[in-house]
Structure 1
Amino acid sequence: MPEPLDEGLLETLVRTASVLKQTDIPFALMGGFAVYAHGGTSSDHDVDFALREQDVPRAVDALTASGFRAEEPPEDWLTKVFDGDRMVDLIYRPVERPVTAETLADAVDRPVAALHLPVLSATQLMVHKLLAFSQHHCDFSRALPMARSLREQIDWPRVREETAASPYAASFLVLLRLLNVVTTEEVGDATG
């Protein structure tokens, strides 16, 4: 059973998105709340937005002017802002791929709480999830419910193509095929 949606985080999501929209900063919702926006079962402990790296300073300025607190984490692919104790990740290089205008164009408009927001496509969310697997982190337990709940919205041949270099992604696609979540036609034999 999915965890109940954190209403405080949802409020933070709306506040953040409102500031970004009012400031005309291109963005897309990503992460667990993006899965939720697509009708999936995920929620999260924070809110994640995709932004181009060059837009992050302007976003941080606008958000801090609206009462958020900024923090530079040690990671070199995101910036964090806080709405009270609720965390928002401004991600500009997920899975070692920079967020570009093309990345943001691969978003669909979805209603989230009181707003319509650009949300990364289900396909892009799945690609990011699979490319995050590594020898240090390869827990399929969060990716499996996501794959099942968004299955019809995902372009599986594209996922296979974009994750072809990852043996962890290939293993996950084999698991999905064996569980009859996807077909061989959608992902091939997924062994390269």
Structure 2
Amino acid sequence: MPVPLDEGLLETLVRTASLLKQADIPFALMGGFAVYAHGGTSSDHDVDFALREQDIPRALEALTAAGFRAEEPPEDWLTKVFDGDRMVDLIYRPVERPVTDETLADAVDRPVAALHMPVLSATHLMVHKLLAFSQHHCDFSRALPMARSLREQIDWPRVRKETADSPYAVSFLVLLGLLDVVPSSVIEEVH
């Protein structure tokens, strides 16, 4: 059963994207709301945007000038801002890969609420989801609905190629093959 969409977070998402656009800061929506923008399952507790690291200071300046509160987390791959009590992650190095011009170019324009914005491709989102699996966090139950709901939009051979070094990703792809979510050719190339 899909998680009900949090209207407050959706307002924060649109407000953040609008401010980033006004400040001419390149970005792409990522995370659960990006999956939602592609027609998949909805988000949960925050909003995630991909930005290049060099654009973070300008983004913080634009957002805090509009009333957001900035917070520097202990992680060294993102920064956080708050719109009231709603959290927005500005991510510049997801899964130990820096956000680059090429990352942002792998986005598609999608309407989210009343605003069109760049959204990371379904393929890129799936790669990030699989590369986040580790010996400490390997919850297939959140990735499976995403894979099922976006399967026609995902370039599965690219996902396989970009995640080939992760035994957790390979295992997930095998599971998807056994469940007939991905083409058998993707699984045959895994073995």
Structure 1 counterpart SS, 2:140: coil
For residues 83 and 62 of structure 2, what CA distance do their matches in structure 1 show?
A: 13
Residues 107-163 of structure 1: CA distance to partner in whole angstroms, max 9, x if unpaired?
A: 000000010010000000000000000000000011000000000000000000000
Residue correspondences, number: 191
Contact 2:4–2:42 (8 Å) recurs in 1: no
Contact 1:39–1:149 (8 Å) recurs in 2: yes
Deviation, 1:43, is 1.2
For residues 187 and 63 of structure 2, what CA distance do their matches in structure 1 show?
A: 41
Q: Unpaired segments of 5 or more residues in structure 2? A: none
Determine the structure 2 residue equivalent to 1:127. 127
Q: TM-score, normalised by structure 2?
A: 0.98
Q: Which amino acid aligns with 1:4?
A: P
Runs of 4+, deviation exceeding 3 Å: none
Determine the structure 1 residue equivalent to 2:22. 22
Structure 2 counterpart SS, 1:44: coil
Q: Which amino acid aligns with 1:42?
A: S
How do residues 98-113 of structure 1 correspond to structure 2 at under 5 angstroms?
A: 98-113=98-113
Contact 1:156–1:187 (8 Å) recurs in 2: no
How do residues 1-192 of structure 1 correspond to structure 2 at under 5 angstroms?
A: 1-191=1-191
Q: Which amino acid aligns with 2:39?
A: G
Percent identity, please: 87
For residues 187 and 22 of structure 2, what CA distance do their matches in structure 1 show?
A: 41
Q: Unpaired segments of 5 or more residues in structure 1? A: none
Residues 58-95 of structure 1: CA distance to partner in whole angstroms, max 9, x if unpaired?
A: 00010000000000000000000000000000000000
Structure 2 counterpart SS, 1:117: strand
Deviation, 1:186, is 3.1
Q: Which amino acid aligns with 2:143?
A: A
Q: Which amino acid aligns with 1:128?
A: H
CA RMSD of aligned residues (A): 0.7
For residues 114 and 79 of structure 1, what CA distance do their matches in structure 2 show?
A: 26
Deviation, 1:185, is 1.4
